[in-house]
Protein backbone atom coordinates (compact mmCIF):
# COMPACT_ATOMS: atom_id res chain seq x y z
CA UNK A 1 0.00 0.00 0.00
CA UNK A 2 1.27 3.47 -0.84
CA UNK A 3 1.70 5.49 2.34
CA UNK A 4 3.18 8.68 0.87
CA UNK A 5 4.92 10.21 -2.13
CA UNK A 6 7.51 12.96 -2.42
CA UNK A 7 8.92 14.91 -5.36
CA UNK A 8 11.69 17.48 -5.61
CA UNK A 9 13.64 19.29 -8.33
CA UNK A 10 16.96 21.06 -7.99
CA UNK A 11 18.76 23.49 -10.29
CA UNK A 12 22.23 21.93 -10.53
CA UNK A 13 24.16 25.20 -11.07
CA UNK A 14 22.38 26.92 -8.19
CA UNK A 15 23.02 23.93 -5.93
CA UNK A 16 26.73 23.81 -6.85
CA UNK A 17 27.02 27.57 -6.22
CA UNK A 18 25.52 27.05 -2.77
CA UNK A 19 28.01 24.23 -2.04
CA UNK A 20 30.84 26.60 -3.01
CA UNK A 21 29.40 29.49 -0.98
CA UNK A 22 28.92 27.37 2.17
CA UNK A 23 32.01 25.11 2.43
CA UNK A 24 30.61 22.83 5.18
CA UNK A 25 27.28 22.25 3.43
CA UNK A 26 28.57 19.19 1.57
CA UNK A 27 29.54 17.54 4.86
CA UNK A 28 26.29 18.60 6.53
CA UNK A 29 24.00 17.10 3.88
CA UNK A 30 25.86 14.10 2.49
CA UNK A 31 27.24 10.94 4.04
CA UNK A 32 30.94 10.21 3.40
CA UNK A 33 30.19 7.79 0.56
CA UNK A 34 28.02 10.40 -1.21
CA UNK A 35 30.33 13.44 -0.92
CA UNK A 36 32.70 12.74 -3.81
CA UNK A 37 30.05 12.21 -6.48
CA UNK A 38 29.94 14.52 -9.52
CA UNK A 39 28.02 17.78 -9.06
CA UNK A 40 24.91 16.69 -10.98
CA UNK A 41 24.76 13.45 -8.99
CA UNK A 42 25.06 15.39 -5.73
CA UNK A 43 22.18 17.63 -6.79
CA UNK A 44 20.12 14.52 -7.61
CA UNK A 45 20.94 13.01 -4.19
CA UNK A 46 19.87 16.27 -2.56
CA UNK A 47 16.58 16.18 -4.51
CA UNK A 48 16.12 12.56 -3.38
CA UNK A 49 16.65 13.45 0.28
CA UNK A 50 14.23 16.37 -0.07
CA UNK A 51 11.63 14.10 -1.70
CA UNK A 52 12.03 11.59 1.13
CA UNK A 53 11.65 14.37 3.72
CA UNK A 54 8.46 15.51 1.97
CA UNK A 55 7.08 11.95 1.97
CA UNK A 56 7.75 11.85 5.71
CA UNK A 57 5.96 15.17 6.26
CA UNK A 58 9.23 17.10 6.76
CA UNK A 59 9.46 16.27 10.47
CA UNK A 60 11.43 18.68 12.67
CA UNK A 61 14.79 17.34 13.80
CA UNK A 62 15.29 15.07 10.81
CA UNK A 63 19.02 14.53 10.19
CA UNK A 64 20.38 14.53 6.62
CA UNK A 65 22.92 11.83 7.46
CA UNK A 66 20.13 9.46 8.50
CA UNK A 67 19.40 8.86 4.82
CA UNK A 68 21.82 7.60 2.18
CA UNK A 69 21.05 7.02 -1.49
CA UNK A 70 23.09 4.16 -2.94
CA UNK A 71 23.67 3.72 -6.64
CA UNK A 72 23.52 0.12 -7.78
CA UNK A 73 24.87 -0.33 -11.31
CA UNK A 74 22.11 -1.47 -13.66
CA UNK A 75 19.43 -1.11 -11.01
CA UNK A 76 17.24 1.48 -9.31
CA UNK A 77 18.86 3.54 -6.55
CA UNK A 78 18.48 2.16 -3.03
CA UNK A 79 17.43 4.21 -0.01
CA UNK A 80 19.12 3.37 3.29
CA UNK A 81 17.56 4.94 6.39
CA UNK A 82 18.47 4.99 10.06
CA UNK A 83 18.00 7.17 13.14
CA UNK A 84 15.51 10.02 12.80
CA UNK A 85 14.44 9.05 9.28
CA UNK A 86 13.88 5.40 10.21
CA UNK A 87 11.91 6.43 13.32
CA UNK A 88 9.56 8.66 11.33
CA UNK A 89 9.16 6.02 8.60
CA UNK A 90 8.27 3.41 11.23
CA UNK A 91 5.74 5.77 12.82
CA UNK A 92 4.06 6.15 9.42
CA UNK A 93 4.18 2.41 8.69
CA UNK A 94 6.66 2.77 5.82
CA UNK A 95 8.52 -0.46 5.12
CA UNK A 96 9.79 0.04 1.57
CA UNK A 97 11.01 2.88 -0.65
CA UNK A 98 10.85 3.24 -4.43
CA UNK A 99 13.11 6.01 -5.72
CA UNK A 100 13.76 7.43 -9.17
CA UNK A 101 16.39 10.13 -9.67
CA UNK A 102 17.63 11.87 -12.79
CA UNK A 103 19.62 14.88 -13.95
CA UNK A 104 19.59 16.44 -17.39
CA UNK A 105 19.60 19.93 -18.87
CA UNK A 106 20.85 21.49 -15.64
CA UNK A 107 18.00 20.11 -13.54
CA UNK A 108 18.11 17.21 -11.05
CA UNK A 109 14.88 15.62 -9.91
CA UNK A 110 13.70 12.83 -7.67
CA UNK A 111 10.44 11.05 -7.04
CA UNK A 112 9.89 8.70 -4.14
CA UNK A 113 7.03 6.37 -3.25
CA UNK A 114 6.88 5.18 0.36
CA UNK A 115 5.15 1.85 0.75
CA UNK A 116 3.74 0.04 3.76
CA UNK A 117 2.11 -3.32 4.32
CA UNK A 118 -1.18 -4.01 2.56
CA UNK A 119 -4.23 -3.45 4.70
CA UNK A 120 -6.59 -6.37 5.06
CA UNK A 121 -9.60 -6.07 2.79
CA UNK A 122 -12.91 -5.56 4.53
pLDDT in tens, 46-83: 999 999 999 999 988 999 999 999 988 888 899 999 99
Nearest to 39 by CA among 72, 71, 9, 16: 16
pLDDT in tens, 87-105: 999 999 999 999 999 999 9
The verdict on whether residue 39 carries a ligand-binding annotation is: no
Global pTM value: 0.92
Residue 91, classed as helix, strand or coil, is helix
Helix axes 39-55, 12-21, angle to 10 degrees: 100
The verdict on whether residue 8 carries a ligand-binding annotation is: yes
* Cβ–Cβ < 8 Å for 28, 64: yes
For the chain, the structural domain boundaries read: 2-115
CATH 1.10.10.60 fits 2-115, yes or no: no
Amino acid sequence: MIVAVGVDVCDVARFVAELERVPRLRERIFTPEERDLPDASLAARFAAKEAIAKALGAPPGMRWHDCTVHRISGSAPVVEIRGTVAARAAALGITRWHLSITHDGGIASAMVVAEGPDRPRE
